[in-house]
Chains A and B, each alone.
Chain A
Amino acid sequence: MIRLPLVLFFSAGLFSVGVYGVLARRNAVLVLMSIELMLNAVNVNLVAFSQLLRDTILAGQVFALFVITVAAAEVGIGLAIVILIYRNRETINIDEVNLLKW
């Protein structure tokens, strides 16, 4: 027996820490890592709900698997863009990438 709020608090904590990381880290790779934290928070939720509801078709767990897969794809894309930027600009500090504005 596990009280659901405990699990959800854990996930909310991960999510918030992830948000902080996305907003406050200037290194693009660290931002990507923070996004992973947010996505993991989602997965914790999904798995917990799936078990709470005793979902017969396990939609929550399947959803979590899809999120993991998509996260992997996103990381790949993100890193490709980061490397591209590094090659052209010699920096991956996000706040220095500001040619386009106004």
Chain B
Amino acid sequence: MSSQEIVFVVLGIVGLGAAVRLVTARNVVHAALYLVVSLAMVGGTYLVLAAEFVAFVQVLIYVGAIVVLLLFSLMLTRAPIGREALDNQQRGISALVALGILAGLAFLIQDAFRDARIEPDATPTGAVGVSIFQNFVLPFELVSVLLLAALIGAVVLARKDLP
């Protein structure tokens, strides 16, 4: 095991653990904090994989913006606390489904990529920018329209009044 792998495994275990706690926590605010941990660990793995720009974006957008948004809405909706308040009646079947998916994916991955190795090569941020503006301009423009639509639509729905 290389040092990179060791770091990755540590990040992965923490991230997964936090994820599991997120879906089992009995307090919504705790769950949100677990989400922060989990997402940060994912960001960390990007760093290990030498995708720095994606890692920064991950931390900025997810940890910085999305989680805050989620926390705000938790406050707004006065989230209750306790297992019965947070979980529904289908935990058993849900766990089965999740395990089934995990088993299936694990089998597929093992089958297809058993011997694949990543040799992380630092990606210069500039290259990402070039790629976006050279190869993916059109999706980029479309995403801007999407964000505008989401923004305006969300405001319209969330505001209290009617016209």
A12-B105, A36-B62, A57-B135 known; A82-B143 Cβ under 8 A: no
Q: How large is the interface on A (under 10, 10 to 19, 20 to 34, 35 or more residues)?
A: 35 or more
Query: Are B87 and A10 interface neighbours, CB within 8 A?
Result: no
> How long is the Cα–Cα vector from A10 to B48 in the complex, in angstroms?
13
Interface residues of A in 41-74 (CB under 8 A from B): 43-44, 47-48, 50-52, 54, 57-59, 61-62, 64-66, 68-74
> Beta-carbon contacts of A1-40 to B below 8 Å, as 1s and 0s?
1111111111011111111110111110110111011001
Partner of A24 from the list B58, B94, B105, B158 (CB cut-off 8 Å) is B94
Counting residue pairs across A and B whose Cβ atoms lie within 8 Å, the total is 262
Q: Which of B127-163 contact A (CB under 8 A)?
A: 127-128, 131-132, 134-136, 139-140, 143, 146-147, 149-151, 153-155, 157-158, 160
Total chain B interface residues with beta-carbon distance under 8 A:
89
Determine whether the beta carbon of B19 is less than 8 Å from that of A37. yes
The answer to whether A24 and B42 touch across the interface, beta carbons within 8 angstroms, is no
Chain A contact surface mostly: helix
Asked if A23 and B49 make an inter-chain contact with CB atoms under 8 angstroms apart, the answer reads no
Question: Are B77 and A25 in touch, CB under 8 angstroms?
Answer: no
A2-B48, A29-B28, A33-B32 given; A47·B109 CB < 8 A: no
How far apart sit A59 and B136, CA to CA, in the bound complex (Å)? 9
Given A29-B28, A48-B49, the answer on whether A92 and B77 have CB atoms closer than 8 Å is: yes
Task: Determine the chain A residues whose CB is within 8 A of the CB of B91 once the complex forms.
Answer: 24
Contacts of A95 in B (CB 8 A): 88-89
What residues of chain A lie closer than 8 Å to B20, measured between beta carbons?
17
User: How far is B67's CA from A62's CA once the two chains are assembled, in angstroms?
Assistant: 22
Other A-B pairs, 15, CB within 8 Å; known A51-B118, A70-B146, A93-B88: A13-B19, A14-B16, A17-B20, A20-B95, A23-B94, A25-B23, A40-B39, A62-B135, A65-B53, A68-B61, A72-B61, A75-B66, A79-B70, A80-B153, A81-B157
